[in-house]
């Protein structure tokens, strides 16, 4: 374990949600391990990965939870959301439906998660420029209306993944210390 000798100041639980196949698992492995895995996953059940990093001089252990396919069966349980301080709400910029369903995911968060949860809307697969079905402007407007942070990412080439997670963790940290 990489943090045996480190003093952890905070553990922040972050959940990754959104429709199936938008790239949640790949986002997570990109952030936690800087990997993109070309084999699709086969495990079902809640899993998390951790990464320890320093924000404003504090050692933060980010514990990032993946639905591991439960969303396919509409079976994401309240245990998944319990204690979560942040949420990465991911859609696929090439799948209009996955963006239209974001409102459902926000309702899900409002009913199961803490009301102070920090939400980051993520338009993933921004490497697929020719297949884009959701404009950046629409997403920015929606995020502003809903009070969400927003970024477009590519888990495939790594674009903005790190900065999106860092922004979310930074915002959580700001709320924790204020
Ligand atoms: P999940 O069901 O939301 O966890 O989605 P996965 O992480 O399993 O990804 C679903 C599919 O999209 C897989 O075939 C991934 O290889 C692919 N994928 C994920 N992220 C990206 C990305 O940023 N760009 C591209 N082009 N494909 C991606």
Radius of gyration of the chain (CA): 15
> Is the CB of residue 16 less than 8 Å from the CB of residue 90?
yes
Q: Whose CA is nearest to atom 11 of ligand 1?
A: 21
Compute, in angstroms, the gap from residue 25 CA to the centroid of ligand 1.
Answer: 7
Task: Note the pLDDT tens digit of each residue in 7-46.
Answer: 999 999 999 999 999 999 999 989 988 776 665 454 555 5
Compute, in angstroms, the gap from residue 124 CA to the centroid of ligand 1.
Answer: 8
> Is the CB of residue 132 less than 8 Å from the CB of residue 93?
yes
Give the pLDDT of residue 76.
Answer: 75
Q: What does the pLDDT average to over 152-172? A: 97
Inter-CA distances, 113 with 2, 7, 95, 124, 170, Å: 29, 28, 26, 23, 19
Q: Which atom of ligand 1 is nearest to the CA of 128?
A: 26
- Of 11, 42, 16, 46, which is closest to residue 28 (Cα–Cα)? 16
- Of 84, 80, 104, 99, which is closest to residue 152 (Cα–Cα)? 99
Q: Which atom of ligand 1 is nearest to the CA of 67?
A: 4
Q: Has the ipTM of the complex gone over 0.90?
A: yes
User: Percentage of residues in the chain with pLDDT exceeding 90?
Assistant: 74
Task: Note the pLDDT tens digit of each residue in 82-129.
Answer: 999 999 999 999 999 999 999 999 999 999 999 999 999 999 999 999
Q: What does the pLDDT average to over 59-78? A: 82
Give the pLDDT of residue 46.
Answer: 53
Q: Which of 47-56, 65-74, 121-130 has the lowest mean pLDDT?
A: 65-74
Best residue among 16, 19, 21, 160 to mutate for probing ligand 1, ranked by most atoms within 8 Å of CB: 21
Task: Check the CA dihedral 31-32-35-36 and report its sign.
Answer: negative
* Alpha-carbon gap, residue 103 to 145, rounded angstroms: 12
């Amino acid at each position: 374990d990489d943090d045996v000798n480190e003093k952890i100041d905070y553990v922040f639980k972050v959940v990754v949600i959104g429709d199936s196949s938008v790239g949640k698992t790949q986002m997570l492995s990109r952030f936690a391990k800087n990997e993109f895995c070309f084999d699709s996953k086969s495990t079902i059940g809640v899993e998390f990965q951790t990464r320890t990093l320093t924000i404003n001089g504090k050692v933060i252990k980010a514990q990032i939870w993946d639905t591991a396919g439960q969303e396919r069966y509409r079976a994401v349980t309240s245990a998944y959301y319990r204690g979560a301080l942040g949420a990465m709400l991911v859609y696929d910029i090439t799948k209009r439906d996955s963006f239209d369903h974001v409102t459902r995911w926000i309702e899900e968060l409002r009913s199961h998660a803490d009301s102070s949860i920090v939400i980051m809307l993520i338009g993933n697969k921004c490497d697929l420029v020719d297949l884009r079905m959701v404009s950046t402007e629409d997403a920015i407007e929606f995020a502003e209306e809903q009070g969400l942070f927003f970024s477009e990412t590519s888990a495939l080439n790594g674009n903005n993944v790190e900065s999106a997670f860092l922004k979310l963790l930074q915002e959580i940290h700001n709320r924790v210390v204020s």
